[in-house]
Structure 1
Amino acid sequence: MPYPTNDLTGTVVAITGASAGIGRETARLLAEAGANVVLAARRTERLTALVEEIGPDRALAVPTDVRDPEANRALVAAAVERFGRLDVLVANAGIGMYGGIEDASDDDLERMLDVNLAGTVWSVRAAVPQMRKQGGGDIVIVASVAGLRGDGNEAVYAATKHGQVGLAGALDRELRREGIRVTALCPAGVSTEFAIGAGRTEGDPALEEFLKPQDIAFQVRTVLEQPRRLRSTLWTLWPMSVDLP
């Protein structure tokens, strides 16, 4: 007898940071599984192109700056207006930055703190009332292994990811009895634009050993396809090429 999985057909998924990398691949894979996807990011042109690729009947672009609480509420409202509900939030928007504590500018660090941590809080805070109204849902926070063990060249980035992991754990304790599952995914390095230009360069051989954005998208789909009686609270994701620390 086959194991019963959760059918994603017709579910409504909002994805922040959907214009590139993990967010874009997650949108593609979930749409392939039958979900309707609401795409949030600041790069409107890329969102529009992704909507055309997936199909405007199944995808909606909502230009969003996750640092703005009102913009996150508008994202949820747009999902409900278009598709009638919101079943899933994938809080994926983030900024990566390698370097020591003195290496980046104050403005760059402030932006990373705001996007990675405050932006996650605002997007979750906007989604929870709708999920409560519906009687359940899923929140998937894309964090990082840096949130469990930061390397010496990413202290502030690690601080934001520790915050996301702590947020996810506390939310799970708060919300699970209301049918809202909360999962933190903690991947090791992923070969995306996120890494290039923030301490890595195009063609860097180290990127060959990184995870691919499709790998993280697959894990998001796996989390959502679990039967509702089951929940995953914290997953770490590593490439086969890397020894565990």
Structure 2
Amino acid sequence: MKSLAIVTGVGPGTGASIVRRFHEGGYQVAMLARSAERLDALAKELPDAFAVPCDVSDPPALHAALDQIEARAGAPKVAVHNAVGGAFANFLDVDPAVLERNFQVNVMALMHLGRWAAPRMEKAGGGALIVTGNTSAERGRANFAGFAPTKAAQRILAESMARTMGPRGVHVAYLVIDAAIDLEWQRKNNPEKPDDYFCRPVDIAEEVWHIAHQAKSAWSFRSEIRPFAEVW
């Protein structure tokens, strides 16, 4: 049986590219997202990828989805938490409920996914749990009050998980993406920017693949990528 990768947040950009990279690398891929239509379309293209529609902010639904995946494909070798809840407003304007919702997606879903996946990976002899993050995990800009606190908490949770699971043979890593990802809405919001401004989802996926297959003697926790022209 092929190794299993689980990817949450399978949208048209980074999530889909991660799915394609692991499928290309010989994995079965379980795809989680709220849009069943999008997942089904991708599954038709990729014979070893299968759709598991799920709102990861709903713990019972997430656990039911994960149990469904295990019944079909066994324990995961890789899990990528790419689902993200975002918002752009300062703390005076943002609805506190938005922050709470984003916390459920970015932090609590990782907690539930990790508690489910890590023991199974350990029992199976190892694996990798990778979180796609960004620079909001490290700074609190004014208009990111409904988002950055959740990404900071996500990074710290991932680090705690890494310290627990690393000695047990499970690699937990946090990928900081310091970039505007090359998506249609980003292009519309930045029409004057050159191609070099954007980070391509396929290149992000390649880095996720690399992290998932690092040698045990050289595991990284915090990896960081950005376009070569990015000012930082």
* Counterparts in 2 of 1:177 and 1:124: CA distance versus 1, 3 Å: same
Question: Which residue of 2 is the match for residue 222 of structure 1?
Answer: 210
**C-alpha root-mean-square deviation of aligned residues, in Å?**
2.1
Mapping of residues 232-243 of structure 1, within 5 Å: 232-243=220-231
1:1-245 → structure 2 map (5 Å cutoff): 10-55=2-47, 58-191=48-181, 196=185, 202-205=188-191, 206=193, 208=195, 209-244=197-232
Q: What TM-score results when the alignment is normalised by the length of structure 2?
A: 0.90
Question: SS in structure 1 opposite 2:231?
Answer: coil
Number of equivalenced pairs: 230
With the length of structure 1 as denominator, give the TM-score of the two structures.
0.85
Q: 2:166 touches 2:172 (CA, 8 Å); kept in 1?
A: yes
Counterpart secondary structure, 2:19: helix
CA contact (8 A) 1:68 1:122 kept: no
Identity of aligned residues (%): 31
1:211/1:61 Cα in 2 relative to 1: closer, same or farther (>3 Å)? Answer: same
| Partners of 1:214 and 1:103 in 2: CA distance | 35
Distance in 1 (alpha carbons) for counterparts of 2:177 and 2:138: 10
Deviation at 1:192, TM superposition (A): 5.4
* 1:163-214 residue CA offsets vs partner (Å, 9 max, x unmatched): 1110111111101111100000010133356x93xxx672523585131222
Deviations 1:65-89 (A, max 9, x none): 1112222222332222222221111
C-alpha separation between the residues in 2 aligned to 1:161 and 1:207?
28
Q: State the AA in 2 paired with 1:213.
A: P
The answer to whether the Cα contact below 8 Å between 2:19 and 2:29 also exists between their aligned partners in 1 is yes
* Aligned partners of 1:40 and 1:64 also within 8 Å: yes
C-alpha distance in structure 1 between counterparts of 2:57 and 2:38, whole Å? 19
Give the distance between the partners of 2:6 and 2:175, measured in 1 at CA.
16
Larger CA deviation: 223-232 vs 41-50: 223-232
Secondary structure (helix, strand or coil) at the match of 1:49 reads helix
